[in-house]
């Protein structure tokens, strides 16, 4: 663990990313302390530009709600949706992909047919239908995003594991009598972790964006303020009030960027070969 | 010969997948609140239960669920996707009407994003850690993280409203008697903004995939061997690293090419592009069951085709992998 | 050059450039009108489909017997003159001579009889309800139609606009399955424009009817109705000159003031007098908090309508004070309770009833950004006085279903009033219209025999002074009961480029056809 941290620390950008991510988490946790009133409360006249009134530093939206307050509360929702849905997608996608890629044959066939089954439906449409059926709520949105998110993970892991499966070290491990589970988790997965981590960090972002698309179609959870909701609602006033979409947009961008930097740092720190290189 | 056999077996499996999807979608769609009769009744402003019931009977919605499903599958098997009661047209006609526009859009976006993505990703990998790499990765990330509709709107603002270089919406300018050449040029001009906007998102994905994959491959032992053999860095990168690194990118691209067909909803909406993504969304909103299922079936078939193509490319890129089990 | 700063949009802009009827210049012939239609209509057969986009496009293809001006006075269309007998029971129409259907067949009184007596009775529930007052419809000769009523029905004269009673060709529809007739895809009417082409997802093209019976009309050669699904893109289309006409509701309200200030843009809120859309908050009267009149009153006092009018509707329309919209006949301001914004009163009422924070389910109408923002503002208004609100959102189909199944406590909505309480108001209040299946019936479930009787009597009372007494009584009763929380009498401004002249000439607006319009 210590060795891992010291490897991670060598990537300055990754550390910077981690700081930003932690900062966003802190803001999310502290939102009620900064802004005790609900972010839905209409506190000022509508369309107040940013920096005009210190009480609403980032301006107000179409109904006179505080944008800064919305950003702080939105951090909670967006991070929650992004991470939980990605974790669910990984929990489903990685095992399926790894098993399919490792065993091949009938196992691969069955699992890939199952994956294709989910993938062959246009994912965005599937998400809309799912949310529409189960009614928009935090839970249904997370589940819908996870359901459309896991097949690419499975495909990617399968491809990678398949390629690794041909390598000599796997043959050697089999000859050495290691169990399949051990080989997959100890030998192969560490070697394919970097594309998975890169994909996962992008998935967090795409989950946040997908949530915004759903919000934009009127299928967001109506009682939670998310960045996606803010951008979706600002969409029709982009021309009059740039700040309404730019601030939450930048919030998403910064978070995604930070997550990516962390992801890369992790990838390199986790990769046994890169440590060899640097040793 | 082997390839043909492989193709046939994949095709057979693909058809089964599509049929399974018909069942899943059928169940899902019928679980959604509201049906085509209630939507059409709602739109007419005033109505009574008898009127709604009359519509239901007419649309066959009064029959038992399993009967409806059975009838639908029987139809799909005969390549009959049913009738859109709302649009008063056969579903297949409606979908085929819109399919070319979507294929044009997604095809252009796909070629654009894959080319630019792989080239930029490779370029970034070759300059790993240097400013050029940082610039490329950051820019691609910005494109990835910006909501599509926002980017589209900005593109329209700059290139249509302010500069007046490119048309803002539609497939072509209506009216007039354009010759075939003029019409093609007109469509091409209309294609630029939507294709690039849709493509940019995927470009960002391919840049990152290619870059990550190239760096991964470059660390492998065979590259060191090649280096030891005295091959130039440029040759190693282009001939050996890129070729291996492209594998996961192709996996992803193949998957996304199919997805793009359905995923173009936003782009088609913002640019008023008359494709099936929009058709699907409108059908969903209107609970036009038959039409929605029809779009799902056609786009599912697309994904199956793209997956088979992906596997074919796989075989060409990396003959070591046995695909045709 | 600096753009001229305008104060409140509603007043100054409307004054600036909306003088439709007064164009002194000679109409210019030819040209093409590019119009936005949103959403794409499901079809154009106006006798079968009654939704808004269908009416807007097909109002050029089909015609009614009459049109109505801004004061809702009848004007000739397919009928040149009409008489109403002294007992109010016999309506006689003289028809235009020399009218031809778009396929060349002559139009006669038989078409009118077929339309009213056979076709619309089957296909149009709203028209069917009003036709229940009609005993016989006859054609003594080819140019005369007589409607014989069972009893006087005051609003009957307002039933002949093109959306309510579009005249359809008998020779095409008689003896067929109306809904499945293939001719529905190539509509044949008598109107100033003929259907030419429909590229689904892109545009609908209408061309001038060269044989139109009013000589010299229409002025335009063709109309293109563009299908542009995104509101922001529709705004851009207007700015770049790809379309010249944005009918009411085709861009988001937030965008209206900005577009109105662009070069060569004209705006008018005329053309909604006949439809008179009124918005309100449904209460579900079947049980729970909303069945308690004190709770309904509290909600009525808690909502800040002026804020919504300014922030969401650009200061257009009027704050509703009761169940009759501003331009609807027989409205009586004097009998109404004043429910203007008063949070203190709302809190007092809640305290009086012992409200303890039980949640109410609010299922707002999902008709785009403005309506969603409005729902959020209302929710906040209610929470400000201490009412706990669970907002439930879904798409339009889901909302239709929930309202149609009465599965809600509160919901926003708006309904057209068609100028007369018997045509457009009573349907939301009378118990006979409590029926599942549509979100536009009396879904609130308000049931009061006294009100039922008043509305029934008001419809058939004769003459108008008798109707006024009855309708004043019903307004007082509804207002005292706070049956629903009436919000705003809406206006949907029409934006055009200023070189489009004479577009809106009646109280039905763009839905009434473009026969007088021309482009400079």
Q: Tens place of pLDDT for every residue, chain C, 520 residues?
A: 333 333 334 444 444 444 444 445 688 898 999 999 988 888 899 988 888 889 999 999 999 999 999 888 999 999 999 999 988 899 999 999 999 999 999 999 999 999 999 999 888 877 888 888 999 999 999 999 999 999 899 889 989 999 899 999 999 999 998 888 889 889 999 999 999 999 888 899 999 999 999 988 899 999 999 998 888 889 888 988 889 999 988 888 888 988 999 889 999 988 888 989 999 999 999 989 999 999 999 999 999 999 999 999 988 889 999 999 988 889 999 999 999 999 999 999 999 999 999 999 999 998 888 899 999 999 999 999 999 999 988 778 888 888 988 999 999 999 989 888 998 899 899 998 888 877 888 999 999 999 999 999 999 888 889 999 999 999 999 999 999 999 999 989 999 999 999 999 998 889 899 999 999 8
Task: Report phi then psi at C91, rounded to 5.
Answer: -115, 120
A89 pLDDT higher than 90? yes
Average the pLDDT over each of A169-173, B59-63, B210-214 and give the range with the smallest value: B59-63
Chain centre to alpha carbon of residue B254: 10
Shared domain for B163 and B20, answered yes or no, is: no
- Classify residue A57: in a domain, yes or no: no
| Cα distances (Å, whole numbers) of residue B233 to B227, B228, B236, C146, C301 | 7, 11, 5, 95, 77
Residue B268 at interface with chain A, using a CB cutoff of 8 Å: no
Residue A219 in this model has a pLDDT that exceeds 80: no
Instruction: Please identify which residue in the block is written with the tokens 């006075």.
Output: C73
The per-residue pLDDT for range B54-104, each reduced to its tens digit, is 778 877 788 888 888 888 888 888 888 888 877 778 899 888 888 889 889
Q: Which pair of structure tokens corresponds to residue C501?
A: 């002249």
Measured in degrees and rounded to the nearest 5, phi and psi for residue C146 equal -125, 125
CB burial of residue C26 (10 Å; 0-12, 13-18, 19+): exposed
**Mind giving me the DSSP string for B189-200?**
HHHHHHHHHHHH
The CATH number linked to A26 is 1.10.3720.10
In this structure, are B108 and B210 located in the same domain?
yes
Same domain, B107 and B250: yes
Find the CATH number of the domain harbouring B271. 1.10.3720.10
Q: Give the Cα separation of A172 and B236 in Å (integer).
A: 28
- Cβ distance A236 to C254 less than 8 Å, yes or no, reads yes
pTM above 0.95, yes or no: no
Mutate to test the interface with B, among C405, C438, C442, C443 (most CBs of B within 10 A): C438
Those chains having 3 or more beta-carbon pairs within 8 angstroms of chain C are A, B
CA nearest C123: which of B287, B86, B47?
B47
Choosing from B50, B77, B92, the residue where a domain stops is B92
Distances (CA, A) of C62 to B91, B226, C57, C313, C506: 28, 79, 9, 32, 16
Task: Confirm whether the ipTM is greater than 0.85.
Answer: no
* Interface contact flag, B284 A128, Cβ < 8 Å: yes
Indicate if B146 and B264 belong to the same structural domain: yes
Query: Which of B272, B279, B291 to mutate to probe the C interface, most C CBs <10 Å?
Result: B272
Q: Which runs of E-coded beta strand occur in B32-126?
A: 83-84, 89-90
Average pLDDT over residues B232-236: 77
Positive or negative: CA dihedral B106, B109, B114, B117: negative
Q: What is the pLDDT of residue B175?
A: 65
| DSSP string covering C234-299 | HHHHHHTTS-SEE-TTSS-GGGHHHHHTSTTEEEE--S-TTT--EEEEEE-TTSSGGGSHHHHHHH
Q: Are residues B303 and B289 in the same domain?
A: yes
What values do phi and psi take at B320, rounded to 5?
Answer: -65, -30
Where in the sequence is the domain holding A124, given as residue range(s)? 2-40+63-278
Domain annotation covers residue A48: no
- B154 touches C: beta carbon within 8 Å: no
Confidence of residue A277 (pLDDT cuts 50, 70, 90): very low
Q: Quick one: pLDDT band at residue B313, thresholds 50, 70, 90?
A: confident
What is residue C2's predicted lDDT score, i.e. its pLDDT? 36
Q: Closest-CA residue in chain C for A232?
A: C369
Between B179 and B42, the higher pLDDT residue: B179
Record: contact A38-C383, CB cut-off 8 A: yes
B70 with B205, same domain: the answer is no
Task: Say whether B272 and C200 touch across the interface (CB within 8 A).
Answer: no
* Non-local CB neighbours of C99 within 8 Å, separated by 6+ positions: C78, C106, C107, C190, C213
pLDDT of res. A271: 63
Q: Which of residues 278-307 of B touch C (CB under 8 A)?
A: 278-279, 282, 284-287
- Based on the domain organization, do B273 and B296 belong to the same domain? yes
Chain A closest CA to C394's CA: distance in Å? Answer: 6
Q: Which residue, of B47, B67, B92, is where some domain finishes?
A: B92
B136 and B71 in a common domain:
no
Task: Please check whether residues B113 and B39 belong to one and the same domain.
Answer: no
Question: In angstroms, what separates the C-alpha of A40 from chain C's closest C-alpha?
Answer: 7
DSSP β-bridge partners for residue C410:
C283, C362
Contacts of C125 in chain B (CB under 8 A): 44, 46-48, 51
The DSSP code sequence of B205-245 is HHHHHHHHHHHHHHTSHHHHHHHHHT--HHHIIIIIIHHHH
Beta-carbon-side half-sphere exposure of residue B131 (alpha carbons within 13 Å)? 0
A223 in any annotated domain: yes
Of C506, C423, C486, residue with least CA distance to C278: C486
CA–CA min distance A117, chain B (Å): 6
**In terms of domains, do B127 and B209 share one?**
yes
Would the CB atoms of C40 and B33 count as touching at under 8 Å? no
Identify the pLDDT of residue C387. 95
List CB contacts (< 8 A) between C395 and chain A.
132, 217-219
**Nearest neighbour of C437 by CB, restricted to B47, B157, B274:** B47
Helix axes A227-234, A67-103, angle to 10 degrees: 110
Number of domains observed in the structure of chain B: 2
- Mean of the per-residue pLDDT values of chain B: 80
> Is the distance from CB of B288 to CB of B87 less than 8 angstroms?
yes
Nearest CA in chain B to C395: B285
Closest by CA position to A165, among listed A220, A231, A98, A232: A98
Chosen for mutation from A104, A116, A263, A279 (greatest number of chain B CBs closer than 10 Å) is A116
- Report how many domains make up chain A: 1
Residues 66-125 of C with CB under 8 A from B: 124-125
Scanning the structure block, which residue is given the tokens 């002025």?
A: C219
Q: Which of B31, B144, B153 sits opposite A133 (nearest CB)?
A: B31
Q: Give kind and range of the element (H or E) at residue A15.
A: helix A12-34
- Residues B209, B306 within the same domain: yes
Q: Looking at per-residue confidence, does B149 or C475 come out higher?
A: C475
Domain with B39 in it: 2-92
Please report where in the chains the tokens 């969401």 appear, as a residue.
C312
Among residues B31, B61, B92, the one where a domain terminates is B92
Same domain, residue pair B45 and B149: no
């Amino acid at each position: 663990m210590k060795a891992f941290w010291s490897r991670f620390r060598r990537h300055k950008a990754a550390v910077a990313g981690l700081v930003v991510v932690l900062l966003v988490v802190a803001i999310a946790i502290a939102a009620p302390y900064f802004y005790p009133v609900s972010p839905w409360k209409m506190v000022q006249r509508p369309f107040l530009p940013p920096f005009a009134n210190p009480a609403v530093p980032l301006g107000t939206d179409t109904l006179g709600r505080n944008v800064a307050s919305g950003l702080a509360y939105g951090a909670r929702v967006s991070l929650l949706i992004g991470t939980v849905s990605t974790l669910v997608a990984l929990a489903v996608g990685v095992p399926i992909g790894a098993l399919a890629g490792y065993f091949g044959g009938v196992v691969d066939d069955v699992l890939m047919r199952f994956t294709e089954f989910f993938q062959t439906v246009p994912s965005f449409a599937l998400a809309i239908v799912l949310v529409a059926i189960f009614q928009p709520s935090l839970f249904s949105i997370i589940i819908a995003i996870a359901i459309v998110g896991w097949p690419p993970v499975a495909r990617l892991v399968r491809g990678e594991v398949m390629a690794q499966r041909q390598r000599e070290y796997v043959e050697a491990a089999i000859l050495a009598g290691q169990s399949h589970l051990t080989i997959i988790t100890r030998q192969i997965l560490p070697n394919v972790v970097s594309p998975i981590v890169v994909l996962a960090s992008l998935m967090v972002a795409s989950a946040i964006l997908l949530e915004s698309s759903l919000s934009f179609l009127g299928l967001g959870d109506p009682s939670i303020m998310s960045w996606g909701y803010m951008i979706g609602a600002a969409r029709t006033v982009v021309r009059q009030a740039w700040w309404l979409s730019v601030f939450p947009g930048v919030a998403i961008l910064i978070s995604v960027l930070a997550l990516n930097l962390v992801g890369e740092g992790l990838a390199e720190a986790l990769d046994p070969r890169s440590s060899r290189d640097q040793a | 010969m082997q390839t043909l056999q492989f193709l046939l077996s994949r095709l057979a499996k693909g058809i089964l997948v599509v049929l399974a999807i018909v069942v899943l979608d059928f169940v899902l769609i019928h679980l959604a609140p509201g049906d085509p009769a209630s939507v059409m009744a709602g739109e007419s402003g005033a109505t009574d239960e008898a009127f709604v019931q009359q519509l239901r009977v007419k649309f066959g919605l009064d029959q038992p669920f399993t009967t409806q499903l059975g009838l639908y599958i029987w139809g799909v098997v005969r390549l009959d996707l049913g009738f859109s009661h709302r649009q008063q047209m056969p579903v297949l006609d409606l979908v085929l009407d819109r399919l070319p526009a979507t294929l044009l859009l997604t095809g252009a976006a796909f070629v654009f994003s894959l080319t630019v993505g792989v080239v930029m990703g490779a370029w970034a990998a070759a300059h790993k850690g240097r400013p050029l790499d940082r610039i490329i990765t950051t820019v691609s990330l910005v494109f990835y993280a910006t909501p599509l509709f926002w980017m589209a709107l900005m593109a329209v603002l700059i290139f249509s409203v302010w500069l007046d270089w490119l048309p803002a919406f539609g497939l072509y300018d209506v009216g007039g008697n354009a010759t075939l050449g003029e019409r093609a040029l007109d469509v091409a001009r209309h294609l630029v903004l939507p294709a690039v906007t849709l493509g940019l998102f995927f470009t960002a994905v391919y840049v990152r995939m290619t870059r990550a994959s190239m760096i991964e491959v470059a660390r492998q032992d065979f590259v060191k061997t090649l280096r030891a053999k005295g091959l130039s860095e440029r040759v190693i990168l282009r001939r050996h690293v890129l070729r291996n690194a492209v594998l996961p990118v192709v996996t992803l691209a193949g998957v996304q090419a199919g997805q793009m067909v359905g995923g173009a909803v936003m782009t088609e909406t913002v640019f008023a592009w008359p494709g099936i993504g929009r058709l699907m969304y409108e059908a969903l909103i209107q609970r036009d069951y038959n039409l929605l299922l029809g779009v799902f079936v056609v786009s599912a078939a697309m994904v199956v085709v793209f997956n088979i193509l992906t596997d074919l490319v796989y075989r060409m890129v990396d003959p070591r992998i046995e695909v045709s089990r | 050059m600096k753009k001229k700063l305008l104060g409140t949009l509603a007043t100054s802009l409307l004054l600036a450039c909306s003088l439709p009827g007064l164009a002194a210049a000679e109409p210019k012939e030819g040209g093409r009108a590019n119009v936005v239609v949103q959403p794409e209509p499901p079809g154009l057969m106006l006798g079968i489909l009654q939704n808004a986009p269908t009416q807007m496009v097909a109002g050029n293809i089909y015609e009614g017997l009459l049109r109505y001006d801004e004061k809702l006075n009848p004007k000739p269309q397919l009928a040149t003159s009409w008489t109403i007998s002294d007992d109010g029971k016999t309506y006689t129409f003289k028809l235009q001579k020399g009218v031809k259907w778009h396929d060349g067949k002559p139009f006669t009184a038989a078409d009118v009889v077929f339309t009213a007596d056979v076709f619309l009775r089957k296909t149009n529930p709203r028209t069917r309800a009003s036709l229940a007052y009609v005993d016989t419809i006859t054609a003594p000769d080819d140019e005369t139609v007589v409607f014989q009523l069972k009893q006087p029905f005051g609003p009957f004269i307002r039933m002949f606009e093109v959306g309510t009673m579009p005249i359809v060709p008998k020779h095409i529809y008689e003896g067929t399955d109306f809904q499945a007739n293939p001719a529905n895809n190539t509509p044949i009417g008598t109107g100033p424009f003929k259907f030419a082409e429909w590229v689904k997802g892109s545009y609908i093209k209408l061309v001038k009817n060269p044989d139109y019976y009013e000589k010299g009309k229409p002025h335009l050669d063709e109309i293109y109705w563009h299908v542009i699904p995104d509101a922001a893109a529709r705004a851009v289309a207007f700015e770049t000159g790809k379309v010249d006409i944005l009918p009411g509701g085709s861009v988001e309200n937030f965008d209206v003031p900005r577009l109105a200030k662009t070069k060569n843009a004209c705006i008018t809120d005329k053309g909604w007098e006949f439809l008179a859309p009124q918005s309100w908050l449904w209460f579900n009267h079947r049980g729970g908090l909303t069945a308690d009149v004190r709770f309904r009153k509290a909600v009525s006092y808690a909502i800040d309508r002026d804020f919504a009018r300014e922030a969401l509707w650009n200061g257009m329309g009027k704050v509703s004070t009761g169940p009759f919209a501003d331009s609807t006949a027989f409205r009586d301001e004097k009998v109404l309770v004043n429910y203007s914004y008063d949070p203190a009163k709302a809190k007092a009422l809640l305290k009086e009833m012992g409200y303890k924070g039980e949640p109410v389910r609010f299922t707002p109408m999902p008709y785009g950004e403005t309506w969603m923002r409005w729902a959020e503002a209302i929710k906040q208004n209610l929470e400000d006085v201490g009412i706990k609100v669970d907002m439930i959102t879904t798409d339009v189909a889901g909302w239709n279903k929930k309202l149609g199944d009465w599965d809600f406590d509160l919901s926003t909505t708006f309904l057209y009033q068609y100028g007369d309480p018997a045509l457009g108001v009573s349907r939301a209040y009378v118990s006979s219209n409590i029926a599942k299946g549509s979100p536009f019936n009396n879904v609130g479930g308000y049931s009061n025999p006294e009100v039922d009787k008043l509305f029934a009597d008001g419809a058939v009372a004769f003459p108008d002074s008798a109707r006024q007494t009855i309708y004043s009584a019903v307004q007082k009763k509804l207002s005292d009961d706070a049956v629903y929380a009436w919000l705003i009498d809406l206006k949907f401004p029409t934006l055009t480029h200023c070189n489009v002249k004479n577009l809106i000439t009646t109280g039905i607006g763009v839905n009434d056809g473009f026969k007088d319009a021309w482009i400079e």
